[in-house]
Structure 1
Amino acid sequence: MELLTAGRLRTEYLDDPLGIDSAAPRLGWIALADRRGAKQTAYRLLVATSIELLDRDEGNLWDSGRVASEESQHIAYEGLELVSGQLAYWKVRLWDEVGNAGNWSGTAWWSMGLLERDQWQGQWIGWKNDHKPTKEQPKPSIYLRRGFQVGKGVKRATAYATALGLYRLYLNGRRVGSDVFSPEWTDYHVRTQYQTYDVTGLLEEGDNAAGAILGQGWYAGYIGMYGYQKYGMDPSFLLQLNIEYEDGTTDRLMTDGDWKASHGPIVSSDLQMGETIDARKEMPGWNIQSFDDSSWTPVDIMYDYRGWLVSQMSRTIRVTERRQPAEIRPLPDGRVIIDMGQNMAGWIAVTLTGEAGARCTFRFGEVLDDSGQLYTDNLRLARQTDTYVCKGGEEETFEPSFTYHGFRYVEASGTGFAIKSVTGIVVHSDLPMTGELETSNPLVNQLISNIRWTQRANFMSVPTDCPQRDERHGWTGDAQIFASTAAYNMDVAAFFAKWLVDLEDAQQPTGAFTDFAPFIFGPKTEFDNDFTYTHTASSGWADAPIIVAWSMYETYGDKKILSKHYEAMKKWVAFNWRQFPDGIRRDVPQYGDWLSVNERPFDEVIAEFGRMVSHHSTTPYDIFSTAYMAFNAKLLSDIAGVLGKKEDSELYAGRFAAIRKSFIEHFVDEQGHIKGDTQTAYAMALEMDLLPEQLRPIVLERLVSKIEQAGDMATTGFHGTKFLMSVLTKNGHEALAYRLLLRESYPSWLYSVNQGATTIWERWDGWTKEGGFQDPGMNSFSHFAFGSVGEWLYRNAGGIGRDPSEPGYRKLLIRPRIRGGLTSARCSYDSLYGLVKTDWKLVNGELHLGITVPANVSATVYVPSVEGSDVLEVASPAAAAKDVELLGREDGCCVYRIGSGRYCFISVY
């Protein structure tokens, strides 16, 4: 029998992370065995200070001994105390369902960061520039360098680096790391992340040189939508390079007053506005020891940073793909339109030849206008323009360092140069891809691709709303409805763990969460006789910390993410209860069901509800806000229960019941009509359990009737759409849900697909045949909110979900819902416990359903079949097959429980 072994060893969800600052990091692995019924019953962990000790099966830091447990994730380290810079190597051995011990796993490792503030010995350095940037001329990048000596016999060299702004670090002319835009976006008033690099192989005995380039980034450039915003005026840099020698001695290079500074070829740079490079100002060899820096200026010692310095415990932003243009089209006036064939986030790398001083301008946009010209009206204040000034001579390559754009199309203009090649550089947080889904419908497949590409474009350290215009905020309302879809597409465990810290950093003293994070302070507004900041406490947005944390718990089974933010969640629920003790939230303005479609003439709606509605949401704000207030109380009750806080759980269950009672009394009549009479109002009330049981079927019937009377059309906005598909499917109307999915006329998902969209639009009507472009002030063509349907697609078309009885994916629910004319689908999801696969197809009246369940995982499977007909597993009756247990029949399906392994069910359909 094949032995059970452990694979994909990770520490805090990361592969061999450097410089973590968790005192008791959590370890995890997947169990591997390609046979049925394989299950872990015990494990033994060894953690050692060297590979040699580990190879001798000695765990001098920790030997867990044999632990009887099926758990393979979130195993907290319980060994000796770890110190700064500590290297820890580990491996694990598993025992299977019959007690056989498997072989030891391969070796994984982690290292500790600088755990105490006083262990940072460097000074913050930079070069002050009093010039105020403009959109057309952002500040230049700063070049820093210093020579230093390295002795003989380097055993290990570790660089700890960060900046207020962005940095790129070099040692002896070679780039350190492959991440871009480090350190990533945080509220710099509160905390800044540092990165750790193993640079042992970059040092040389004798003369060495360190160099860094600083960009403005999120710290000192244009960010958000208020114009020029800044946490500080000038970027600054902090480095500590610790060197350990074979003889036991140590050495250290730090940022201090001995470094020098200069400007260079990056003459202006900004994340939103773009970057200008003047190649005539290149300084060959500026970051190697032999360079003559006599003309450089001593650095400025910047102020001592008072926020928290924390290790980056999430995957970095990186270049993830390089794409060739789909078309390069010259225009009559000499300009060129470059079509990358895909809306994306990143930049271009251009190889060209040109005269010295020739100026090449590259403007970026998502779409073309009706005349085939670059459309940029929707960028608002963001210029998205890069410029390259040629040095002349042989071929040159232009590629920016500290800017990114949301684009499909590039307009190149200028004279005196010739473009030889263009490459699209795709950039985003480098999260492992986890989900794949392909159906028999090519339009649905394009929709799935659009959702994935929109996530790639907007997961840039934080879940941004758009990658192109002057905003790019971590909008909470968008992210909370998309979080579950995001978790199907990518491993977002560490990504959202980081962002939840950003959300808590932004929480106001009142307990109110903000509408985006990291938070940027805009104008103040009066709220209930007090003043608070605009974009704070909006229902459906500020509720995100509770909803996202719960979603991550459901996906990954991680209790720590709940306990870490529990007190902050309590403050938010208390804030709502304090403001609205009668259980009805009436404050305006709100966002509501953002960008919904009017179901009746708006003048009628405004006449009836006044300030409680807007063109952006015809679901009244008091309905929407009260529903979310109830939903949050219910979730917090569930969270308290998971954390073993019984009294709190009962308290918040009582709050939910009180708000629910008020909701029914104020908004629901005896015939099941809900105030506003919108699809969203009915969908939210059903999904959030806000109705008396006797009214649920009546309200459901009303919702279905409204959709069908509209011509099988959804009128819901961001939030209502998330709930609508789920409500229909869970309540016996999956066929209608499929009709909404497959609708091709406006408004629908496939309408944008048929217009050539390669990402999800912000609005249903971003562009229509009748009306052209929507309001350019808010019309992104890469905005993931309406992509929340991806979760529904994975669960229903693909058939892969988790059993609601347990968080994580240790117990699966396999239930493909075969409707809408689909004849096949292949789906996979690389869960925290291993790769799950489904593959179904209809063949001559039969359903063939292939399933792969990873080791140490079980599944409940719903096989659609004609009642009274036999269901086979391969060629034998399913009920008699190995590791298959018949549980009964439900909703036209035979229901089975299966263990790990590969299965193929065949039924008459």
Structure 2
Amino acid sequence: MELKDLRVEYRENPLGLDIKKPRFSWKLVSEEKNVMQTAYRIFVTKEGKTVWDSGEQDSSSSVLIEYNGLELDPRTLYQVQVEVWDNKGNWAIAKGTFETGLLKGTNFSADWITHDFPADETACPVFTKEFKVKKEIEKVRIYATALGVYEITINGKKVGDTYFAPGWTNYHQRIQYQTYQADELLQEKNTMEITVGNGWYKGIFGFTCTPNHYGDRVSVLAEVHITYVDGTMEIVKTDESWNVTTGKIRSSEIYMGETIDSCYKNENFSSVLPMSFDKERIIGQESEPVRITTKLPAKELIVTPKGEKVIDFGQNLTGFVELKITGKIGQIITIRHAEVLDKDGNFYPETLRQAISIDQFVCNGEEQTFLPHFTFHGFRYIAVEGLEEINLENFTACVLHTQMEETGTFTSSNPLVNQLYSNILWSQRGNFLDIPTDCPQRDERLGWTGDAQVFAGTAAFNMNVASFFTKWLHDLASEQTEEFGVPHVIPNILGNQDGAAAWSDAAVIIPWVIYQTYGDVRVLEEQYESMKGWVDYISAHCGTNGLWQKGFQYGDWLGLDKEEGSTERTGATDKYLVANAFYAYSTNLVSKAAYVLDEHEDGQKYDQLYQKIKKAFNEEYITASGRMVSETQTGCVLALYFDLADVKYRERILKTLEINIANHKNHLTTGFVGTPYLLPALSENNLHDLAGTLFLKEDYPSWLYAVKKGATTIWERWNSILPNGDFDTSGMNSLNHYAYGSIGEWMYRKLAGINQLEPGYKKISIKPQFIKGITSVEASFNSVYGEIKSAWICRNQKILVDVVIPANTTALLYLPEKENPLEVGSGSYHFEYETETNLERARFSMDSTLKEILDEPVALQILNQYAPEMMNHPMIEFAYQLSISEILATAPGETETLFKMVIDSLNRTVITI
């Protein structure tokens, strides 16, 4: 048995930790089966002295164990040692470190400094300081932040490898600082430069492309702590002794792009100005930083029909282009960005709207590498101007996002499904850039709460999003008010607007997802008042019937079931039905969270409220016979998946959902709200085969339609590109928009069958479910206890299942076509057995309905072979609910012959079986 992956607050040997009671996690790795931890002991030391000894704890806990020792000192390195014993008599040890940051913003001794440039100056200010070092250095730490986005260089070398620090927060209440290790950068004489871009703080942003959302002048705060070998320390900090100038970055805006003039030299320095900004707002970096996570080479050079020189990188991504070039002095190279080419093969930047996304580089005649600093783009293609000859080797796409550990994998026998999974992952990479944005390319890029909420479950499978969402949820709580509830975007630059269902419910749903995925109770503790506050806000806006039926709502955003020609984007489902479904759902989750936190009085209170909402929901939206007010796919799905409908109504509502899907020729019509729950609702209500049919549809509207149209990320609309190659012209047509990628959670949970029975996957369920059209699935999820694997193959009347359960956990295995689950401990398991051919299931009686026949695998094969035209036959909708005998009695002439042929084919196949 080994101990691996020792983490402190989800990080490995973190630097600049600003948490007073950090938590420790580790993983047991063993080749033996049924391994469980029986005890642990944690030592934390400082300079060889123990500051906490947990003592030997008889416990299987190995995730997020909270420090309970002496108060931590700022700017201090601590050593961590964990010992573990298991039930096999083994002992193991792991060691790590963490270094605290300043621990509070008021520990900054530096001063905020700014400049006095004219208001029309677009160049980024460069704050400079020269200083000397005369002693031998032991270590160097830099603590820095800015109002804007900043980059530090010392003696011309960039400090760190991160981008867009300090990140986007609610600057009115919170701003992060970063800690950098700079041990190797200092010389005897040093020049330190801090360049500050407008970023989110001052830059052009929002639908109206206006600047100065938080302030009209960028500023910086920084200090360099130099520890010498002799034990002395010196601090170089921002103050009025610094100077400021402008540099080679002549303009930089996130939406608009960046201009770098390498010929520019400015030797005019001016004194900095002091600036006042409350240091109480300063906090340490809470999530992983943004980094270049991968680089993609240029794939193809295209000369378009319009004569544009275009480079294709083969993947829609978020980031910028690195260009290596030796140009002429003053030569200007322009790079424009776009997600797609039009159907004629021309450059098509219209999905960017007002965000022009143009980078310009001015050459100095030397060999150079150009790389933007304070902008990012959503693109697959670039149009290059200013070069007569283009060498693809000189162009590299740099992929930028918050550097979260990727924790999930998924592959299947269906290449289209595999591409869909890739599209989901790339949309998450493209939109999890410091905050969860809706899209990375156009004049928006905002932290829409609804998009983040519906995708959170999938996101947590794909990557470790615990710190990422924790940081964002802190901003959500800071923006939330009793008067307006939870804003629609976080951070909120859109102004005060009443909260809306499914969007503002992110305040409740995402903390619960984090708790369930990582066993993180602290996120519930920290967000609990926010969670309750959102439910209480809704309650305060309810009518006498106890329901929320006033104010603006998004409804089932972009649902397809509105009448033809309607400009409404809210779908056909009653928008207040949607609102009250989420009201009930969030109330139930708050009740559950209260019990987790031992707030039993609150737990009872919100459980009683939940029961009242359910009762009112049934009275308002479901008739006495079980008919729903909105018999849409989304209306039925929410009633079923959120368990709102009384038991006596569920069967009819499920049948209504089934008929609705059939009436749309087995296609979905759901929007942002219904789509995440559509297939889960079917799978959990004995219609998993129908869920599979919907999932594998390849024509519009479906997930695979976009794949077949060449998508490499998830689209905002089901038909962002029309079948004829035209584009949606609504002005809202992002080709990198992860909301419909929420299907990924169903892929993990139902197709691969990976589910948690206890928070953090301490107890696991493995229950793969087959669908027609996929003969194998292999998936993994690296949980906080270790990697979980589920793989199956169903071919040639044989089923093969392989499962890996990590040490210190247990699992229930539900093998396909087997009735009783197996209860197992950790280890690797392999199963191989014959399929159970049920002859009775294949014998179709004259009293079977056509739907029952079409749901059978044998029937599907026969229809494809003998009567493919039947699937689109004009009688299909009429005949769908009739028995075969009824069809033969009513179907005239040609139709009767067609159905007889199908029945004869079925009979022949049964005999063959």
TM-score (norm 2): 0.89
The one-letter amino acid paired with 1:6 is L
Q: Which residue of 2 aligns with 1:824?
A: 776
3-state SS in 1 of match to 2:592: helix
In 2 relative to 1, CA 248–395 (structure 1 residues): closer, same or farther, beyond 3 Å?
closer
Asked if residue 225 in structure 1 is aligned to residue 207 in structure 2, the reply is: yes
Asked if residue 437 in structure 1 is aligned to residue 420 in structure 2, the reply is: no
The one-letter amino acid paired with 2:315 is Q
Mapped to 2, the partners of 1:548 and 1:333 lie a distance apart of: 47
Asked if residue 782 in structure 1 is aligned to residue 729 in structure 2, the reply is: no
Mapped to 2, the partners of 1:665 and 1:225 lie a distance apart of: 40
2:751 corresponds, among 790, 797, 802, to 797
How far has the Cα of 1:102 moved from its partner? 1.4
Q: What per-residue deviation string (whole Å, max 9, x for no partner) do you get for residues 632-657 of structure 1?
A: 11111111111111111111111111
Q: Which residue of 1 aligns with 2:853?
A: none
Mapped to 2, the partners of 1:662 and 1:790 lie a distance apart of: 33
How far has the Cα of 1:302 moved from its partner? 2.4
Contact 1:583–1:626 at 8 Å: present in 2 too? Answer: no
1:682 corresponds, among 636, 640, 654, to 636
- Describe how 1:490-889 pairs up with structure 2 within 5 A: 490-510=463-483, 512-522=485-495, 533-534=496-497, 536-581=498-543, 582-598=545-561, 601=564, 614-770=568-724, 772-803=726-757, 806-865=758-817
Q: Which residue of 2 aligns with 1:296?
A: 269
Q: Which residue of 2 aligns with 1:66?
A: 56
Asked if residue 169 in structure 1 is aligned to residue 152 in structure 2, the reply is: yes
How far has the Cα of 1:331 moved from its partner? 4.2
- Describe how 1:240-389 pairs up with structure 2 within 5 A: 240-281=223-264, 295-305=268-278, 308-331=281-304, 335-389=308-362
Contact 2:339–2:351 at 8 Å: present in 1 too? Answer: no
Contact 1:35–1:902 at 8 Å: present in 2 too? Answer: no
RMSD across aligned positions (CA):
1.8
Contact 2:305–2:344 at 8 Å: present in 1 too? Answer: no
Q: Which residue of 1 aligns with 2:96?
A: 108
How far has the Cα of 1:186 moved from its partner? 0.3
5+ long unaligned stretches in structure 2: 836-913
Q: Which residue of 1 aligns with 2:108?
A: 120
Mapped to 2, the partners of 1:588 and 1:570 lie a distance apart of: 20
The one-letter amino acid paired with 2:753 is G
Aligned residues between the structures: 832
3-state SS in 2 of match to 1:159: strand
Mapped to 2, the partners of 1:25 and 1:171 lie a distance apart of: 32
In 2 relative to 1, CA 188–775 (structure 1 residues): closer, same or farther, beyond 3 Å?
same
Asked if residue 465 in structure 1 is aligned to residue 455 in structure 2, the reply is: no
Q: Which residue of 2 aligns with 1:95?
A: 85
5+ long unaligned stretches in structure 1: 54-58, 134-138, 284-292, 523-532, 604-612, 866-891
In 2 relative to 1, CA 250–468 (structure 1 residues): closer, same or farther, beyond 3 Å?
same
How far has the Cα of 1:39 moved from its partner? 1.1
Q: What per-residue deviation string (whole Å, max 9, x for no partner) do you get for residues 531-580 of structure 1?
A: xx23x401110111100001111111111111111112222211111110
3-state SS in 2 of match to 1:202: coil
In 2 relative to 1, CA 116–598 (structure 1 residues): closer, same or farther, beyond 3 Å?
closer
How far has the Cα of 1:141 moved from its partner? 1.3
TM-score (norm 1): 0.89
3-state SS in 2 of match to 1:542: coil
Contact 1:637–1:648 at 8 Å: present in 2 too? Answer: yes
Mapped to 2, the partners of 1:178 and 1:792 lie a distance apart of: 36
Asked if residue 30 in structure 1 is aligned to residue 55 in structure 2, the reply is: no
How far has the Cα of 1:595 moved from its partner? 0.7
Q: Which residue of 1 aligns with 2:9?
A: 12
In 2 relative to 1, CA 716–331 (structure 1 residues): closer, same or farther, beyond 3 Å?
closer
Deviates more, 1:725-734 or 1:773-782: 773-782
Q: Which residue of 1 aligns with 2:859?
A: none
Q: What per-residue deviation string (whole Å, max 9, x for no partner) do you get for residues 504-527 of structure 1?
A: 1110242601111011144xxxxx
How far has the Cα of 1:130 moved from its partner? 3.1
In 2 relative to 1, CA 494–378 (structure 1 residues): closer, same or farther, beyond 3 Å?
same
The one-letter amino acid paired with 2:522 is K
Q: What per-residue deviation string (whole Å, max 9, x for no partner) do you get for residues 817-844 of structure 1?
A: 1112211111111111101112211243
Q: What per-residue deviation string (whole Å, max 9, x for no partner) do you get for residues 773-802 of structure 1?
A: 113421100000000000000112222121
Deviates more, 1:365-374 or 1:480-489: 365-374
Contact 1:5–1:93 at 8 Å: present in 2 too? Answer: no
Mapped to 1, the partners of 2:811 and 2:270 lie a distance apart of: 66
Q: Which residue of 2 aligns with 1:878?
A: none
Deviates more, 1:218-227 or 1:491-500: 218-227
Q: Which residue of 2 aligns with 1:877?
A: none
Mapped to 1, the partners of 2:387 and 2:298 lie a distance apart of: 21
The one-letter amino acid paired with 1:593 is D
Mapped to 1, the partners of 2:436 and 2:592 lie a distance apart of: 25
The one-letter amino acid paired with 2:124 is S
Contact 1:352–1:417 at 8 Å: present in 2 too? Answer: no
Q: What per-residue deviation string (whole Å, max 9, x for no partner) do you get for residues 861-888 of structure 1?
A: 01113xxxxxxxxxxxxxxxxxxxxxxx
Mapped to 2, the partners of 1:906 and 1:438 lie a distance apart of: 20
2:386 corresponds, among 402, 405, 414, to 414
Q: What per-residue deviation string (whole Å, max 9, x for no partner) do you get for residues 464-517 of structure 1?
A: 000000110110001111001001100001001001001111102426011110
Mapped to 1, the partners of 2:399 and 2:485 lie a distance apart of: 36
Q: Which residue of 2 aligns with 1:883?
A: none
Mapped to 2, the partners of 1:418 and 1:395 lie a distance apart of: 15
Of all paired residues, the percent bearing the same amino acid is 39
Q: What per-residue deviation string (whole Å, max 9, x for no partner) do you get for residues 93-129 of structure 1?
A: 110114x241321x21111111244421111123233
Asked if residue 131 in structure 1 is aligned to residue 119 in structure 2, the reply is: yes
Contact 2:482–2:537 at 8 Å: present in 1 too? Answer: no
3-state SS in 1 of match to 2:80: strand
Q: What per-residue deviation string (whole Å, max 9, x for no partner) do you get for residues 39-97 of structure 1?
A: 111011111114xx4xxxxx611111211110001101111111111211102111011
Contact 1:189–1:307 at 8 Å: present in 2 too? Answer: no
The one-letter amino acid paired with 1:322 is K
Mapped to 1, the partners of 2:702 and 2:575 lie a distance apart of: 24
Contact 1:337–1:411 at 8 Å: present in 2 too? Answer: yes
